Structure 1
Amino acid sequence: MHELSLAQGLVEQLEATAAKENATRVVGLQVVIGSYCGVERDAFEFAFPFAAEGTVCEGAELRIEELPVSVRCRRCNAISHPAPILLVCGACGANDVELTGGREFLIRSVELEVP
């Protein structure tokens, strides 16, 4: 389950941020997960508390924002949001598309407790 290693990496980043800001704990965070990035939301939500245990992140509220796949058609220039398994233009049906969104996996915000 690579979601556990991703959660551990996230906790390491959050610990470094907390140390830099002299924070005593991470209260909450918002993570963006694109639907084409290969991260299983449920597995990541399950893994995060295990990765956070015994760190400044323990008990932090994890909020996840899911982003859909986004493509730009090279034929008609339309932007659409097809299912991740079928990357075709939603306007003209062409499969000549450029992936413009959905691979994201990033921290949108962090809420710290600072004395």
Structure 2
Amino acid sequence: MHEMSIAMAVVGQVEEAAGAGGASAVTAVRLEVGELAGVVPDSLAFCFELACAGTVLEGARLVTETVAARARCGHCGREWPTGMPPELCCPGCARATDVELLSGRELRILTVDWEDGPVPGAARTREPISEEG
């Protein structure tokens, strides 16, 4: 199930941004997922919850926004929703040789909500103890 690798990649990127931003906890992640991205939202949500365990994202809410697939015919210029499975033959001129997919493959992080402050329970850096004395 590739949703787990996607979830782990999202968690890794958000962890990095949250650490750089001084976040104590991430509360929500909003993703844009194209209709043709090959991602099952329920599976992604399940995997996201598992991937968040033990991280600054633990307990974060995942919100996915689906982007409809659209195409444009290079011959006649008509645009249409491709649907799923995708219909890539132009409904205007019936050509399928010059079709451009405009949307539907997206998979990106749109927003991350977090709380500022030190991470609860984080180990503090201590000065090394000298062996001399």
TM-score with structure 1 length normalisation?
Answer: 0.92
Aligned to 2:105: 103
Matched, 1:94 2:83: no
1:9 aligns with 9
> Which one has a bigger Cα radius of gyration?
2
- Percent of aligned positions with the same letter in both sequences? 36
Question: Bigger shift: 43-52 or 86-95?
Answer: 86-95
77-86 vs 48-57, which deviates more? 77-86
**2:41 is matched with which residue?**
41
- 2:83 is matched with 83
Shift of 1:36: 0.9
CA deviations 1:1-50 (Å, max 9, x no partner) are 11011101110101000100000011111100001112121210111100
C-alpha change, 1:114 and 1:81, in structure 2 (3 Å) is: same
Q: What is the alpha-carbon root mean square deviation over aligned residues?
A: 1.3
Unaligned runs of 5+ in 1: none
Distance 2:24 2:80 in 1: 43
Query: Cα distance, 1:88 vs. partner?
Result: 2.5
- Extract structure 1 runs of 4+ deviating beyond 6 A: none
- Once residues 2 and 19 of structure 1 are traced to their aligned partners in structure 2, the CA distance between those partners, rounded to angstroms, is 26
Deviation at 1:92, TM superposition (A): 4.1
More deviation, 71-80/9-18: 71-80
**Ranges in structure 2 where 5+ consecutive residues have no aligned partner:** 118-133
Using the size of structure 2 for normalisation, the TM-score is: 0.80
- The separation in 2 between residues aligned to 1:41 and 1:78, in whole angstroms, is 30
In structure 1, what residue type is equivalent to 2:27? V
